[in-house]
Structure 1
């Protein structure tokens, strides 16, 4: 071997020599394996944090005005400046965080920034075993207590399932409601052709009764959560995990995901009697729209609602189809000139939490509410 050849061999890297290829490959695989292991461990840790450790928290500082059996009444802004605006959050399995989601992306914050000085929020509590026999009337009664404590007359904003209870209050006590906003609220449950309507009519009442029995007299939030996820299984069981894995090193993505999942993955339990009443009387028999619903001792007639009313629907809403919201105009007694009907892009949750809807549509709704004072 020449000195030149010897010199070339002595300076060659191990990977340039065939004998060292297996060793170099093993080293590369080891490094990749360690990185993959660390990434997988981080992914598993984040999954546990999202699904087991995080709890929902309202974004905007508030005052506790009332602590009732079924709800905590939260208060924002300044008292004594005009008629208060009461946001009636859904009591459908998730917390009131839907109305006060994240700083810069909050319905409460949007209302306060657009002409409304005093906002209150119904923060409904998860039902405990001793609450299993509470009825719709019990929740309506406590909503009346909240309104009376706020001065006896409010601008009422009903979100989703909080919409039909708000409509009931406006029909039963019209003098207590100065203006009414129904957003994604199922008023005419026979309208449209959404999956919730089909499921309510296709499934026998015994199916829901069995779920309540399985929950020990309560409709467990975890049962409802599985039902919602099964409406879009590919998103919840596959795509969401893929998205999390792909963004596991992105702090901004993780922060946003944690806020949403702290709300979505922590559902509330509902009283079994309340839930079965809602399924049978509202979603199967559509009694509110038909004028056959009895609330607090009186048959409700939606024609007694004569206050200015704003109806907001999501074009892609598959929980409460636009027709179920907008058809309320056919039943209430408010003059047509005082009814606003609006359909906006997006689905159900986006009506209350979506950045675009909060930026482009809710400021106008807030100014409409303020103009009613």
Structure 2
């Protein structure tokens, strides 16, 4: 390969001053170009467009609380409804990106039909929606797909799925609880501490400040402050360090589209969750009133699969695995697995989807989902 002018100049001592200047200029131009790209990308990830679904789907139902999205499937088994988290972010976490899609993983395993609860951001008209409203519409979704389904509850979607299984046992053939806080007093995570240490009046004030809704942006700020150094400095340093890595940039943009577009929650639903579930832990105690009945986890007798993350600081493993003793399901029909990684990774992490969820999909198939 022929030497470039810069290399020739460096090979002749007489020309070293010119080579040094030229090198400085090239470095300066590159730094300027990198700096401009960094500014553009930093602005992009700070205020990105809304997230997209990675897989083709159609809206089967458009209800007050959600759009029930149908991703199809190739079999004739029981439908599998992924009850997505409703805690301030989009349900697209279940179908995040190619290679990072729980939906695609379940479909690839041959499950008959996969659907997702696409929860809506709360508008002013939704401020008085309560937990009962959400349970009732999950029940409507099950009826729409034949009256019996397998529920896969992710995070907060887990306790909602468990409530539906307790209220309508014959409608839930099997239950997967992934990163789901079933016993909110178990373990010692930061969410548990915040729920107990922050007075309910503070949560009420936050809801009142947003006219009866819990602001997604306010919640997002709280999550970021749990990892302030990473969120406010580290991720931007990483972005600059990888500014010429297009794959890294694309992955970052995809994540930030999900992360930086929070959902508002109905104030009544949110305050019920904080007070009745996270402060009083009524569901685990068998004292939560749902759709006119006292709900007991002992009424959940279907096969269950419990999945927790070993470094999950949102839902500790103890909060998930406590379900083993609380459910009415025989222990011989309960499976438990502790996966490597944190909270979000349980639902969209590449390694978890490749190494853990295919086994769960096989278990779902054995319960009638194929």
TM-score bin (small chain) = over 0.9
Report the more deviating stretch, 135-144 or 279-288: 135-144
| 1:185 to partner: Cα distance | 0.3
1:92–1:17: structure 2 CA closer, same or farther, 3 Å change rule?
closer
Residue number in structure 2 paired with 1:5:
none
C-alpha distance after superposition, 1:168-203 (max 9, x if no partner)? 000000011000000000000000000000110000
Q: How does 1:242-253 map to 2 (within 5 A)?
A: 242-253=237-248
Match of 2:316 among 308, 321, 328: 321
Residue number in structure 1 paired with 2:89:
94
| 1:299 to partner: Cα distance | 0.6
| 1:26 to partner: Cα distance | 7.2
Match of 1:223 among 206, 218, 232: 218
Partners of 1:31 and 1:355 in 2: how far apart?
38
TM-score (norm 2): 0.93
| 1:38 to partner: Cα distance | 2.2
Q: Match of 1:206, SS? A: helix
Partners of 1:358 and 1:26 in 2: how far apart?
51
Residue number in structure 2 paired with 1:4:
none
| 1:54 to partner: Cα distance | 2.6
Partners of 2:48 and 2:344 in 1: how far apart?
23
Partners of 2:48 and 2:256 in 1: how far apart?
10
CA RMSD of aligned residues (A): 2.0
Q: Match of 1:65, SS? A: strand
* 1:301 and 2:296 aligned: yes
Residue number in structure 1 paired with 2:252:
257
Residue number in structure 2 paired with 1:45:
40
Partners of 1:231 and 1:80 in 2: how far apart?
43
Report the more deviating stretch, 187-196 or 67-76: 67-76
Partners of 2:92 and 2:199 in 1: how far apart?
32
Report the more deviating stretch, 205-214 or 155-164: 205-214
Q: Match of 1:64, SS? A: strand
Is the Cα contact below 8 Å between 1:172 and 1:300 reproduced in 2? yes
Partners of 1:201 and 1:254 in 2: how far apart?
39
Instruction: Give the paired residue count.
Output: 359
Is the Cα contact below 8 Å between 1:183 and 1:312 reproduced in 2? yes
1:331–1:255: structure 2 CA closer, same or farther, 3 Å change rule?
same
Question: Based on CA coordinates, which of the two structures has the bigger radius of gyration?
Answer: 1
Long gaps (5+) in structure 2: 1-12
| 1:283 to partner: Cα distance | 0.2
C-alpha distance after superposition, 1:334-372 (max 9, x if no partner)? 011101111111111111011111001100100101111
Q: How does 1:93-172 map to 2 (within 5 A)?
A: 93-172=88-167
C-alpha distance after superposition, 1:42-72 (max 9, x if no partner)? 1111111122233211111111101111111
Is the Cα contact below 8 Å between 1:54 and 1:258 reproduced in 2? no
Partners of 1:132 and 1:27 in 2: how far apart?
63
Partners of 1:335 and 1:220 in 2: how far apart?
41
Q: How does 1:1-373 map to 2 (within 5 A)?
A: 31-78=26-73, 81-373=76-368
Q: Match of 2:89, SS? A: coil
Long gaps (5+) in structure 1: 1-14
| 1:115 to partner: Cα distance | 2.8
TM-score (norm 1): 0.92
